[in-house]
Amino acid sequence: MTIERSRIDSPLGPIAIAVADRALCGLDFIDSEPRTDTGRRRPPRVPDPPPVGARPGPAGHRIAERIAAYFGGDVAALDDVEVAPAGTPFQLRVWAELRRIRAGQTRSYQELAAIIGAPAATRAVGAANGRNPISLVVPCHRVIASDRRLHGYGGGLWRKEWLLRHEGALPRGLFDGRGATLTSS
């Protein structure tokens, strides 16, 4: 299997993507901490981001177009992107359910655990969310804390807030990770 890697620009900074057999298998903001099982920095599963000049090849070009459409205002543009994340059976269940959360919606970690049939696994759902290898397309940014605070996003809470505002999902009374009330504009 050949993995095609490329770099694309976004309003939130450069994004590294990895595509294998026409399916997206990795996406992350280049300046983000790689997602790990232990929380310690280590190399990501997908090889290091390509150099600045790398452009998507044939397989990644369509995905790059969908990402551009998303940032251009078509918040449903990522819904049909084929993904192939590598993970445990539990992680795959969580990530599949994340894909069912539409733009403009949010779920709490607790709600997500109940939806997948593991209501006592809120922390495990949070851990799976943090290990999501396909940020943005597998929309882990749409998961918030039960107290409606923005919590836990590998790309940084400022990106999570931006993405939720972009999608129209940031309701009044939603709190950021620092305890400040965010208001809808």
What does the pLDDT look like over 61-120, one tens digit per residue? 899 999 999 999 999 999 999 999 999 999 999 999 999 999 999 999 999 999 999 999
Report yes or no on 66 lying in a domain: yes
9 is a domain residue: yes
Q: What angle do CA 68, 30, 81 make, to 5 degrees?
A: 40
Decide if 183 is inside a domain.
no
Domain count, the chain: 2
Are 37 and 106 found together in one domain? no
Radius of gyration, CA atoms only, the chain: 16
Is 55 a domain residue? yes
Quote the CA–CA distance of 149 and 105 in Å, as a whole number. 14
Does one domain contain both 46 and 95?
no
Q: Kindly name the residue from 64, 75, 140, 163 that is annotated as catalytic.
A: 140
Please check whether residue 141 is in contact with residue 158, taking contact to mean a CB–CB distance below 8 angstroms. Answer: no
Does 98 lie in the same domain as 56? no
Does 130 reside within a domain? yes
Residues 64 and 103 in one domain: no
- Token couple for 63: 């995905």
* Cα 17 to Cα 179: distance, rounded to the nearest angstrom: 33
Structure confidence by residue, pLDDT tens digits, 37-72: 433 333 344 444 444 445 556 668 899 999 999 999
Average pLDDT, the chain: 82
Please say if the pLDDT value at position 176 is more than 80. no
Q: Is residue 185 part of a domain?
A: no
Q: Same structural domain for residues 44 and 7?
A: yes
Cα gap 61→57, rounded to integer Å: 6
pTM given for the model: 0.80
Pairing of strands 107-108, 143-144: parallel
**33 and 103 within one domain:** no
CB atoms within 10 A of CB 65: 13
Do 96 and 64 lie in one domain? The reply is no
Instruction: Say yes or no: 61 and 112 in one domain.
Output: no
CATH code of the domain containing 134: 1.10.10.10
* CA–CA distance, 132 with 170 (Å, rounded to integer): 22
Based on the fold, state whether residues 95 and 163 are members of the same structural domain.
Answer: yes
The verdict on 103 and 49 lying in the same domain is no
Q: Which domain holds residue 107?
A: 89-167
Pairing assessment for the beta strands 15-20 and 3-8 based on DSSP bridges: antiparallel
25 noted as active-site residue: no
94 and 31 co-located in one domain: no
Residues 133, 97, single domain; the answer is yes
What is the model's pLDDT at position 45? 44
On whether the CB atoms of residues 158 and 166 are closer than 8 A, the answer is no
